[in-house]
Structure 1
Amino acid sequence: MLLALTHPGMRRSTYLYVVGGVMQACYLPFTTIVFRDRGVPLEAIGALGALNSLLALAAGPVWGHLADAVLGRVVAFRLAIVAAAAGVLLFALGPAAGIPGAALAAFAGAGLVPLLDAIGMEHLAEHGGDWGPLRALTSGSYALTCIASGALVAAGGAFVIGPIYGLGATAVLLGTAGLRVRGGFTATSSEAADQQRQRAAEERAERNEYPGGNAEIAVAGSWRNRFGTASLAFQRSPGLAPFLLLSLLANLGAGLFYAYGSLRIQELVRASGGGDGSSYVALAATIAATVEIPFFLAGAAIAARLGLRALYVMGLLGIGVCSVIYALSPSAELLVVARGLIGIGYSGMLLASVLSIRAIVPDELQATGQALFQSVSYGLAIAIAALAGGLIYGAIGSAPLFALAALILFACIPLALRVAAR
């Protein structure tokens, strides 16, 4: 599993996933608490989160088209890195409370992860391996970097975010020097592509492999039909619509936590006279990302042993129980430690979702199926959660918000036991 990542053909992707986690750890944990420090009301923070989620939702197809049909994946990835660094720098400098910079970073960020995954999965398809261990590298580097970035931001303030993110972006850009991939539009006929996918499916069946979040997810389908196959995916996959409904509801509940968990920690730290809370927030992110690592490393094995439905329910329980703790506990230290449950919940739900889409949707429509899942789960659901959560938090406080998150997550368990793939 891990040995595949040391293959000479995988070293570049391995490097990019590691430094990508370093780069993201210099910005993502601090956005909401910086807005709060700058006097942005909770309701406005929620509205900004919703708008940025919708902006990222709209930007995803743009980056995909640039990568597959116009610039190529490597050039588009570089452009996304530069744009993200510019956005984070504007956010750190603080014009208009950093709102324009956060918007640019959201637009660019919509291209970073999908394009990196497309590059990494193409290498996996060529040299063998699974996506889980590769994703675990990002969680590991993210966890380690959060400790250092939290200390730097606590000492130097929000301005520090710009330069340290810029250093991480530079390291990622250096890793793309000389990078070549074959992805994107080619003259390969549809018939030949279908035959190739059929042979791959037959080989998997012969090896009795458990369907995994592997390279086929990124490379199935041509660039010309990715935007026109959604209706076909629903027609040929009766279980897709119910599963997307589950994803919408579950990530609505999880999104309430993701959007405001850090603010609750900051609130308690400030109340106790412990500073701005950035080091606490960074430590919480470190704990969550660290817990993710073993689950991503052993994701396919866990799914094979427990089943996808049990794995999804485990994810719902992890985030739900953590939300209950956040609703009831007045201890910032306990909230930081409890974030380990988010690592279990996030990895469990993500793995079960990727593998469920892999099982529900035909191979030739995998790109469409995965894109629909991402759009519903991390675009629409997060936008609704950010907007509604800000109104609830601002009007009646944090306890009802996190209690509602837990209620939604627990209510999704019966649905998950019915519609997730077995």
Structure 2
Amino acid sequence: MIPTKYSVHLYVAFFYMTHASFSPFLGFWFSEQGLSSRQIGLLFSIGPLVGLLVQPLWGIVCDRFGIERRVLAISLLAAPLLAFGYVLADGVFALFILTAVVYAVFYSSLMPITDAITVSHAREHGQSYGGIRFLGSLSFALLITPFGLLYDRFGIDTMFVMQLIAMLAAALMLLQVKRPSVSLRRPGRMFSGLGQLLRQPSFGWFLLFVFVVSIGNHFYNVFFSVFIGRQGGQAAEQIGWLNSISALSELPFFLLSGLLIRRWGYYPILCATALAGALRWWSLSLEPTFAVLMTSQLLHGMTFALFMAAGINYAFERSPEGMKNTGQTVFALVYMNLANIVASNGGGWLLDQYGFPVLYRTGALLALSGAAGFVLLALHVRRRG
């Protein structure tokens, strides 16, 4: 029996194993099926688009009825089974679209509810979100390269089976997680807290600048494996190594995120991570060698881990009591959904028209704009006291 204090730690480690098995390789798999950049972008945008509709419902239902673990368990079982629709589609693009829709209905619940449970558990037990999330990055880093080697050996289609096995394991670990005792929900009117949250001007501007910065992040998430695949060689293995380095770079930032946020505050941290993103995307626009690519992956710790940790904690603190799941869901809608939709479709068009250099230069300019926005927001909040 796992001690309650560490039950979420183990679940998070297994949960991010599911990501290592599937998500980094999906764009490459689509490319191997002969899809164009626009088609790949469209498929990647369907999940976030569906999430715009269903994620608020998942969050509100969990807030109202307190069934976070039940929703996670159902989604962990349903999502990997539905993903086999891509294989069964046999290259028919309409069936790819249908699979992307039904897969997203369940997959979209996983991240925001897991984050809400993790933040609540950390605060209940005097821990930090970053310290728990550290284990997720460590799990991802240790497993993604073996997954890549496995897929090079037995074929990229193996990733569908491995995702199913990984999600079943995560569902078993979820059984050890107890219901959060730090309030995530409030009885009564379900939408009142959401309206209260969105009426905060600083929170609205925060979401806007998160959106701008995140477009560049999703240019990377959606098209990076396609970029590596077009370089030739053992693509799955290279994807594994590059993602392993990026995941390892997250570890110190997740461990120290709480300390850094307390020391410097949210806005300086968010500005610094946006500037790191601008540097990273600009370096990719130069079409660097594989060695330079590996070096640039070290910036992932700032552009993803520290950025996400600051954003999640900011959203948690600014959310009304009893609406913590909904607050996390709103942040996820902007960071993971709206920005992803724009990046997937706009990025696919940019890539087909102008190539990878213009794609990543655009991401760099957007990151610079977001950094400037966080500076202005910090000055505005300071003037208002």
Compute the TM-score of the two structures, normalised by the length of structure 1: 0.82
Larger deviation, residues 240-249 vs 136-145: 240-249
- With over 3 angstroms needed to count, the CA separation of the structure-2 counterparts of 1:71 and 1:311, relative to structure 1, is closer
Give the counterpart letter for 1:174 in structure 2.
L
**Which stretch shows the higher mean deviation, 132-141 or 122-131?**
122-131
Residue identity opposite 2:164 in structure 1:
G
Structure 2 gaps of 5+ residues are none
Deviations 1:340-379 (A, max 9, x none): 2122211222123234335555556554443322212211
Larger of the two Rg values belongs to structure: 1
Cα deviation for residue 256 of structure 1 reads 2.1
Task: Provide structure 1 residue ranges, at least 5 long, that are not aligned to the other structure.
Answer: 1-5, 184-214
Identity %: 22
Equivalent in the alignment of 1:138: 136
User: Who is 2:77 aligned against?
Assistant: 82
2:227 maps to 1:229: no
Whether 1:244 and 2:207 are equivalent positions in the alignment is: yes
Aligned to 2:158: 160
- What do the CA deviations read for 1:279-335 (whole angstroms, capped 9, x no partner)? 111211111111111101111111222332221122112221111111103423422
Counterpart residue identity of residue 262, structure 1: S
Deviations 1:206-231 (A, max 9, x none): xxxxxxxxx6xxx3441544434333
Secondary structure at the aligned position of 1:128 is classed as coil
Task: Say whether the 8 Å CA contact 1:92–1:161 is kept in structure 2.
Answer: no
The question of 1:265 aligning with 2:228 is answered: yes
What is the alpha-carbon distance in structure 2 between the residues aligned to residue 71 and residue 9 of structure 1?
A: 18
Q: Are 2:218 and 2:344, in contact at CA under 8 Å, matched by a contact in 1?
A: yes
RMSD, aligned CA: 2.6
8 A contact 1:291–1:340 mirrored in 2: yes
Instruction: Give CA-to-partner distance per residue, 1:66-85, whole Å, 9 cap, x none.
Output: 54556822222111001111
Which one of the candidate residues 26, 35, 49 is aligned to 1:31? 26
Structure 1 counterpart of 2:148, which letter?
G
Q: Report the residue type matching 1:75 in the other structure.
A: R
Whether the 8 Å CA contact 1:91–1:162 is kept in 2: the answer is no
Name whichever of 340-349 and 69-78 sits farther off.
69-78
Equivalent in 293, 296, 300 of residue 338 of structure 1: 296
In structure 2, distance between residues paired with 1:413 and 1:398: 23
CA distance in 2, matches of 1:417, 1:153: 44
Per-residue Cα deviation, 1:1-37 (whole angstroms, up to 9, x for no partner): xxxxx99212321211111111221001011111011
Specify the alignment match of 1:109 in structure 2.
107
Q: 1:145 to 1:244 in 2, by over 3 A?
A: same
Distance in 1, Cα, partners of 2:314 & 2:178: 31
How many residue pairs align between the two structures? 377
1:88 deviation in Å? 2.9
Equivalent residue in structure 2 for 1:409, among 331, 355, 367: 367
> What do the CA deviations read for 1:16-70 (whole angstroms, capped 9, x no partner)?
1111111221001011111011011111111111222111222212333454556
1:243 deviation in Å? Answer: 1.3
Name which of 354, 357, 380 aligns with 2:312: 354
CA contact (8 A) 2:4 2:176 kept: no
